[in-house]
Chains A and B, each alone.
Chain A
Amino acid sequence: NAGVTQTPKFQVLKTGQSMTLQCAQDMNHNSMYWYRQDPGMGLRLIYYSASEGTTDKGEVPNGYNVSRLNKREFSLRLESAAPSQTSVYFCASSDLIPGGNTIYFGEGSWLTVV
């Protein structure tokens, strides 16, 4: 009963280091998303992938890259981490129903950049 699985759950990075957050879903969903959540800011969309082979920028894409490796996997890369990227990151997936999505989230990845 995995749903959306993301790793790692916790990570501490030094400024300038790079890392990749991994995400996989087993619900055969077409659409996948990466969000960040900061206190008082709510969920903000970083990137999304409406279907395999496509990716698009969301509200806050700067400093991030993504790869939709296949239908199951959608990774988020921080090329040169900055303290402003300290946040909780959620991967999510949903059915391909424009205007009718129910979205399912992973458990989150807590990232601290020092």
Chain B
Amino acid sequence: RKEVEQDPGPFNVPEGATVAFNCTYSNSASQSFFWYRQDCRKEPKLLMSVYSSGNEDGRFTAQLNRASQYISLLIRDSKLSDSATYLCVVNRGGSYIPTFGRGTSLIVHP
């Protein structure tokens, strides 16, 4: 089993839709969690951290479920500009090496 797994998609949604992605992780010692966004032919950039209690940033909501070992990203009112690949990142306690999922592709169409 991969350490961090994501559905590669693509998720193809109309503008205005709500879409959610999950990411599962296998190491129960994982301590910190992030969502990154990567546009085509660009570098990954931090979208948001994921906190235990869940957190929101505008149209984006991130959740952590430690019992089931997954994190989620919810995007409300999707925009064309949300089209990108979303990478899940997990850090183990005591490790300097973040583990990246392979990403979930989102395509928002008019």
A contacts, CB < 8 Å to B: 31, 33, 40-43, 45, 48, 50, 58, 90, 94, 96, 98-108
Contacts and interface: CB of A to CB of B under 8 A. Distances in A.
Interface residues of B, number: 24
Contacts of B96: 31, 48, 50, 94, 96, 98, 101
Contacts of A31: 96
Interface string B69-93: 0000000000000000001010111
Interface of B: 31-32, 34, 41-46, 49, 87, 89, 91-98, 100-103
Q: Name B's interface SS.
A: loop
Q: Name A's interface SS.
A: loop
A58 B87 CA distance: 19
Nearest to A30: B96
B44 A105 contact: yes
Contacts, number: 57
Contact of B94 (A40, A98, A102): A98
A101 B43 contact: no
Contacts of A58: 97
Nearest to B46: A102
A53 to B, nearest CB: 14
Contact of A108 (B34, B42, B98, B102): B42
Looking at A41, A102, A108, which has the most chain B CB atoms within 10 Å of its CB? Answer: A102
29 contacts: A31-B96, A40-B102, A42-B100, A42-B101, A42-B102, A42-B103, A43-B44, A43-B87, A48-B96, A90-B43, A94-B96, A98-B93, A98-B94, A98-B96, A99-B91, A99-B94, A99-B95, A100-B31, A100-B32, A100-B91, A101-B32, A101-B96, A102-B46, A103-B89, A103-B98, A104-B46, A105-B44, A105-B45, A108-B41
